Amino acid sequence: MSDKLVISGLSKTFSSERGTTVALNDFNLSVGDNEFVALVGTSGCGKSTLLSIAAGLESHDDGRITIDGEDIVSPGLDRGVVFQSYTLLPWLNTLQNVEFALLGAGKSKSEARDIAQSHLELVGLQGFEKAFPSELSGGMKQRVAIARALSYRPKMLLMDEPFGALDALTRHHMQELLTGIWEKHRLTVLFITHDVEEAVYLSDRVAVMTNRPGRIKTIVPITLSRPRHYDMVSTQEFQHLQRKVLDAIRSESLAAASLASALA
Amino acid sequence: MPQQNKRSGTNRRFALGGKISTAEYLGISASVFAVLTILWYLTTYFGLVRPLFLPSPAKVISRLAELWASGQLFIDLGISIYRITFGFLVSTVIALPIGILIGSYRGWEAAIEPFVDFIRYMPVVAFVPLTILWSGTGDAQKLLIIFIGTFFQQVLLVMDNVKSVPKDFLNLGRTLQMPELRILQRIVLPSALPAIWDSMRISLGWAWTWLVVAELVAATSGLGYRITTAQRFFQTDLIFGYLLILGVLGLTTDQAMKYAGRKLFRYLNVR
Ligand SMILES: Nc1ncnc2c1ncn2[C@@H]1O[C@H](COP(=O)(O)OP(=O)(O)O)[C@@H](O)[C@H]1O
Ligand SMILES: [Mg+2]
């Protein structure tokens, strides 16, 4: 499997009046072509920072980050981004929100309409084309955002806790929807979450980060078969993988707690 | 079940974040006006206050009717409305681009915001003598006072409106590789527009105040001027009548802009 996204020795330090924060230090990770990788870690360990750098929205200090061998220096249409806040434009209806991206990507009006329509169907929102974001539930908004990010056919999808604000039931629906799309269409996905079950259920590999400054602590390959079903969650294999990821995260939380008590 | 709903509905009328129907809302506001009018009527009916200080509603109405019949009312109204329309429009037309500029670019903010803030804290009335020196006591001076009183506030309000556009909206435009100017046009402006509309509505209220202030101090026409001359002849009924008219004008323009805002930005609360 060839690598799509390659990150090596990446470092990022934020400096402000309140001091400097080393968000990432010597971060290494490769995401293969058509691979689904979940990135998990404690809150504040640098996950969003990494995603912003991959999206080209944030610069980095040291190291390299490439997509298809080319350095990432700015945002690009080769990467689709799904933010945790749905970022639907409230003055545009569902169809127009997807068209907005396509028109921005240089598609003609009629082309944009057709593609937007078919992507709304892909996420199960046919019949809601004329609805405004204020009429949609959180899950539906995030579906529009996913349709929008997929519509202009990026090489890879970057998702920052996209289901973090949804209730448990809706989150399960969205996870099934996303695996469904992924298994049918094959995409490269870097998916950030702090929900371990979600990470195991969705991905081919789960990368666990250390506390700040964030590095990869360990990578757990997810050997579950595809297509995935929610019944798998209760199998021993699933539980075992979930435990492995949890243990890695927990040792980090414990390290943070003992550091805090040592300082106190 | 409906019983339950109904009860909790009435309980919530004066609860934090409670809901209320339009009819109920109008009913409550109209009642307050009615009660105050009745109190006013009773106070004058029983002669609790000297008529020179507080004329009766009937006297105020008959004075207004007289001014209506003679056409004086419309001359005064016309000139004041002309001044505020012109002054407010000029101020808005200049404040919008500047507010958008300094809300969008930190460099321009650094150049302009502290200066605007500095002037904003100078009392507008203190400019009255200066504006008279500059431009006499005609319409130009009124427009200047409205402008000074409104423009600097508007610039800061619009700047804040533009700044509160979510950062992720800008990032969305960037991930779509939209040029900066396109992001400003297609994302920032439409996103800030409802808030800007509200800022304009609020600043229009201030503009009314500054108009009347300018007309009170030095003028030969307009609502404010008529109020000062009325004071000279102890025509309290006229002062009351014109104050009521100013209140009604303010209330109707404000409500009209609120209504227009709801229609223009219907997408914000379809539910
Ligand atoms: N723009 C910024 N300026 C300064 N510090 C930042 C900035 N963005 C993130 N940080 C800091 O970097 C660290 C990592 O943040 P983030 O990547 O958002 O963590 P996560 O997404 O894993 O919760 C945090 O300590 C955060 O406070
Ligand atoms: Mg985050």
Q: Is the pLDDT of residue B1 over 80?
A: no
Q: Is the pLDDT of residue B4 over 60?
A: no
Measured between alpha carbons, how far is A196 from A42 in angstroms, rounded to an integer? 11
B171-187: pLDDT as tens digits = 999 999 999 999 999 99
When pLDDT is cut at 50, 70 and 90, the band that residue B193 belongs to is very high
Q: Which residues of B touch A56 (CB under 8 A)?
A: 174-175
Q: Could you tell me if A202 and A38 are in contact, meaning their C-beta atoms sit under 8 angstroms apart?
A: yes
The one-letter code for the residue type at B73 is: L
- B68, part of any domain: yes
Q: How many distinct helices (H) and strands (E) make up chain B?
A: 12, 0
- B94, part of any domain: yes
**A52 CB under 6 A from ligand 1?**
no
**A212 CB under 6 A from ligand 1?**
yes
Nearest CA owner, ligand 1 atom 16: A46
The answer to whether B197 contacts chain A (CB < 8 Å) is no
The one-letter code for the residue type at A185 is: H
Measured between alpha carbons, how far is A150 from B62 in angstroms, rounded to an integer? 71
- CATH number (3.40.50.2300, 3.30.420.10, 3.80.10.10, 3.40.50.300) of A3-78+156-263 reads 3.40.50.300
Domain that holds residue B194: 64-269
CB pairs under 8 A between A and B: 67
pLDDT for res B270: 75
Residue of B nearest to A86 (CA): B168
- B13, part of any domain: no
Q: What is the ipTM of this complex?
A: 0.91
B139-151: pLDDT as tens digits = 999 999 999 999 9
Prediction pTM value = 0.88
Tokens of residue B157, six digits: 């309000």
pLDDT for res A184: 87
pLDDT for res B271: 63
Q: How many domains does chain B have?
A: 1
- B165, part of any domain: yes
- B179, part of any domain: yes
Task: List the domain boundaries for chain A.
Answer: 3-78+156-263, 87-153
pLDDT for res A263: 65
pLDDT for res B269: 83
Residue of A nearest to B182 (CA): A104
Q: Could you tell me if A94 and A136 are in contact, meaning their C-beta atoms sit under 8 angstroms apart?
A: yes
Compute, in angstroms, the gap from residue B168 CA to the centroid of ligand 2: 13
- The nearest CA of chain A is from the CA of B191 a distance in Å of 8
Phi-psi region of A131 (alpha: psi -120 to 50; beta: other; left: phi over 0): beta
Q: Is the pLDDT of residue B12 over 80?
A: no
State the SS3 of A11-48: EEEEEECCEEEEEEEEEEEEEECCCEEEEECCCCCCHH
CATH number of the domain at B244, please: 1.10.3720.10
Nearest CA owner, ligand 1 atom 1: A14
Q: Could you tell me if A199 and A233 are in contact, meaning their C-beta atoms sit under 8 angstroms apart?
A: no
Q: Could you tell me if A31 and A192 are in contact, meaning their C-beta atoms sit under 8 angstroms apart?
A: no
Any residues with CB less than 8 A from the CB of A230 and at least 6 apart, and which? Answer: A172, A176, A201
Nearest to B267 among A90, A100, A101 (CB): A90
Q: Could you tell me if A115 and A91 are in contact, meaning their C-beta atoms sit under 8 angstroms apart?
A: no
**A251 CB under 6 A from ligand 1?**
no
Question: What value does the mean pLDDT take over residues B149-154?
Answer: 96
Mean per-residue pLDDT of chain B: 92
Per-residue model confidence as pLDDT tens for chain A (264 residues): 589 999 999 999 999 888 899 999 999 999 999 999 999 998 889 999 999 999 999 999 999 999 999 999 999 999 999 988 889 999 999 999 999 999 988 899 999 999 999 999 999 999 999 999 999 999 999 999 999 999 999 999 999 999 998 999 999 999 999 999 999 888 999 999 989 999 999 999 999 999 888 899 999 999 999 999 888 999 999 999 999 999 998 887 777 777 667 666
DSSP B176-208: TT--HHHHIIIIIHHHHHHHHHHHHHHHHHHHH
Nearest to B176 among A77, A93, A131 (CB): A77
CB spacing of B177 vs A90 below 8 angstroms: no
Residues 167-186 of chain B whose Cβ lies under 8 A from any Cβ of chain A: 168-169, 171-178, 182, 186
Q: Which residues of A touch B175 (CB under 8 A)?
A: 55-57, 75-76, 79-81
Q: Is the pLDDT of residue B247 over 70?
A: yes
DSSP A196-238: HHHHHHH-SEEEEE-SSSB-EEEEEE----SS--GGGGGSHHH
Compute, in angstroms, the gap from residue A84 CA to the centroid of ligand 2: 9
- B32, part of any domain: no
Q: How far is CA B222 from CA A2, B79, B125, B207, in A?
A: 80, 6, 18, 15
Other beta carbons within 10 angstroms of residue A29's beta carbon come to 22
Question: What value does the mean pLDDT take over residues B43-54?
Answer: 91
pLDDT for res A185: 85
**A24 CB under 6 A from ligand 1?**
no
Compute, in angstroms, the gap from residue A243 CA to the centroid of ligand 1: 27
